[in-house]
Amino acid sequence: MTNREVYLTYKEKGNKEYINSTVLNALLLEVNGFRNFSELILNFDKEIKDFDKFLNLFNEVNDGYPLAYALGKANFIDLEVKVNQHTLIPRPETEELVMRACNYVRKFGVPRGNIYDCCTGSGVIALGMKKYFPDSKVYASDISHEALQVAKENSKNLNLEVNFFEGNKCEPIIENDLMMDIFLSNPPYVEHYEEIDENVKKYEPIDAIYIENGYEFYEYFFMNHKKFMKDQFMMGFEINYDQEQKLIDLVEKYFDVDHTTYSFSKDFYGKTRFLFIFGGVVVEE
């Protein structure tokens, strides 16, 4: 069968909930070894290189298995990273967290000698920051040994040096007496289990998303920030859409409000999604 015949046949056969043009193109790129969509188009009327592999992948995804896990990889900004069921599939919101952090560093002159990504998962936040600030020392930690193995592999494959630690929350950094200029985290924060997509519950590591107390990690970070943050710092977080007021209360409880600036931002879906806290840094919008 040609790539065109495969595309048309399996677009018609596929479960419309999981199979669309983007998914089929990704599968065809994978099984043909093509680098980009343009190469696929140029070879659209040529024989598919590995139909059996295509069929196996199609059947997995058609049953609801996430495309990224089926392929074993995902894109984050302009990085291709390995993912598996021990790591979350990178979301656009997390890309936005990294890009906002980079913009703030440049705009406000935030020191960036030491950068830390807590709850790193596949390592995408740490790797993104290292890519944009190659002269910074980047650290990352996670409680999951399996996730850290994926993150370390991504670091090696991308030739982006990150110092990884295994442990709960910020304990590894505190234990090693490391002080940070920049702290970023996408911790577990969703406390409404019913709001999580069923496919996410079924396939992704739920402990990286759901937590009974959605403020647990933030309160720990805020309460202990003087143990691992320098006097001048930036902290950035992904948050849930309904957490703003409680997080304001926690920021004002644990930070010196006379020398601290904080702001919330909406994601491109229009939901409040990010909190940035600046200490000892002049922030002028």
If pLDDT is split at 50, 70 and 90, which confidence band does 187 have?
very high
User: Residue 268: its pLDDT value, please?
Assistant: 86
Average pLDDT over every residue of 265-283: 93
Q: Which residues pair with 166 in a beta bridge?
A: 142
Percentage of the chain exceeding pLDDT 90: 97
How far apart, in whole angstroms, are the C-alpha atoms of residue 143 and residue 239?
20
Could you identify the residue written with the tokens 């902290």? 235
Return the structure tokens found at 49. Answer: 């290189």
Give the other-Cβ count within 10 Å of 218's Cβ.
23
Average of per-residue pLDDT values in the chain: 97
Q: Is the pLDDT of residue 254 over 90?
A: yes
66-121 tens-digit pLDDT:
999 999 999 999 999 999 999 999 999 999 999 999 999 999 999 999 999 999 99
Mean pLDDT, residues 108-137 taken together: 98
Amino acid residing at 48: I
Instruction: Give me the pLDDT at residue 1, please.
Output: 94
Which pLDDT value is given to residue 89? 97
pLDDT tens sequence across 207-224 = 999 999 999 999 999 999
Interacting residues of 99 by C-beta distance below 8 A, sequence separation 6+: 77
CB 86 within 8 A of CB 92: no
> Given this model, what pLDDT does residue 285 score?
63
